[in-house]
Structure 1
């Protein structure tokens, strides 16, 4: 049970909530179903397809090893062989199952991802970076100075030592030194759990996580229209032809002269 929960029914209520000083410097994740816990694609796959718990570490390491060996065919620039975090970020970018969870520093981007395909109440999860780790002092972004006792995934060897074992009940947040185009476009960051057998919302201190439930039926139409006006679409969040093509889905719901849902013309226009 999440201690801190907020229910949002209107766009005005949403903007008022996320612009409050309370959420300054928080990170956000939108999910299309409010009942979903925060689980990585890797965690869901291992669980859903009944991979034996004793094999998880070996299988996760195997994916990274295979990707390193074969992806050079498609990459113009290879990361440092020992920088597992950057390799994982590339894997995540191209759809491989990893323990990385996509978050964003923008509550509006998170709102888009929550509402875009939602057909029931959806959710935005907000996390407070300084409260995620058991460490009292640590970096939260790879561009900052690395402390001597740092165990974040951006430290060489840290991923293999502290994350692959699936024994440490902590969560880190940050980005690799070299960010890809999608991370930049989405104001993205990664939340990285030390365990795969528990959702992130169970690993985080209760004061450092908030669940914002969006009442889709009441909110979606207005919110998606406002996000569209802000140029938050798949075309801008996923730069390239694939993003442009994906963005056409919402174009089915919008038109400059009339409302495609109600067929009511906007003021000054008429439908032929």
Structure 2
């Protein structure tokens, strides 16, 4: 399905209004962005794939250097991974949301100056067949299959974005499932959809409830940036 105008957007929302509570969403700027966790999209500073040892090392470095700024004294590895993920560190997590509007926002949030006419933004829809853990205690580096967990809202952003995470046993490989579908967004509609979502209360000021988020939202409102 392709979302190309307000009519098709509202039609899509109506079509998923009866979805099971287990359905979750992930918005991506380009449909070419596969479901590969961040750590699997980077190489080490020696040009190799990240091993578990190197994953743990980068997480330890984050905790050590972020300690003065973040409340992470008693965070377990899962909470620490979630916190690191939301501050831009590549991890074996993928972000998902219960809210399809949030997913659409992240699909169209950024300008696309070097747009490929054959490409489109997209939203992944995962009708998952197992539940996430509310109080997870598993070791993210020893799992044999994908696990889901709902963070203890270590940041206001996770709460605002209705967020949850998938934790990948093999983060260097693309995640595929028969329960995942994708809806595409026509590139000519990206800007109008972003404006519509703002009217629906889905914008950076609300999804990133901090000074940076408010500043970026105000900039978007009052300047000519995308």
TM range (shorter): 0.7 to 0.9
Q: Within 5 Å, give how 1:1-80 maps onto structure 2.
A: 6-19=1-14, 20-21=16-17, 23-25=19-21, 26-46=23-43, 51-53=47-49, 56-76=51-71, 78-80=73-75
Moved more, 231-240 or 15-24: 15-24
Secondary structure of residue in 1 paired with 2:129 = helix
Confirm or deny that 1:141 pairs with 2:138.
no
Secondary structure of residue in 2 paired with 1:160 = coil
Confirm or deny that 1:104 pairs with 2:97.
yes
CA distance in 2, matches of 1:62, 1:188: 26
Deviation readout 1:44-64 (Å, 9 max, x if unpaired): 1128x67434x5111101112
Cα drift, residue 11 of structure 1 = 2.2
Q: 1:114 aligns with which of 74, 93, 107?
A: 107
Match of 1:213 in 2: 184
Cα drift, residue 252 of structure 1 = 5.2
Moved more, 16-25 or 26-35: 16-25
Structure 1 residue runs without a partner (length 5+): 1-5, 132-138, 144-153, 163-167, 255-259, 262-272
Cα drift, residue 7 of structure 1 = 1.9
Moved more, 16-25 or 56-65: 16-25
Maintained 8 Å contact 1:31/1:124: yes
Cα drift, residue 17 of structure 1 = 1.7
Structure 2 residue runs without a partner (length 5+): none
Secondary structure of residue in 1 paired with 2:91 = coil
Cα drift, residue 22 of structure 1 = 5.5
Match of 1:196 in 2: 171
Cα drift, residue 68 of structure 1 = 3.3
CA distance in 2, matches of 1:221, 1:75: 35
Maintained 8 Å contact 1:32/1:118: no
Aligned residues: 218
- C-alpha change, 1:172 and 1:240, in structure 2 (3 Å) is same
Cα drift, residue 140 of structure 1 = 1.1
Q: 2:151 aligns with which of 176, 180, 183?
A: 176
Match of 1:159 in 2: 140
Deviation readout 1:23-82 (Å, 9 max, x if unpaired): 3421111111122212222111128x67434x51111011122233343322345234xx
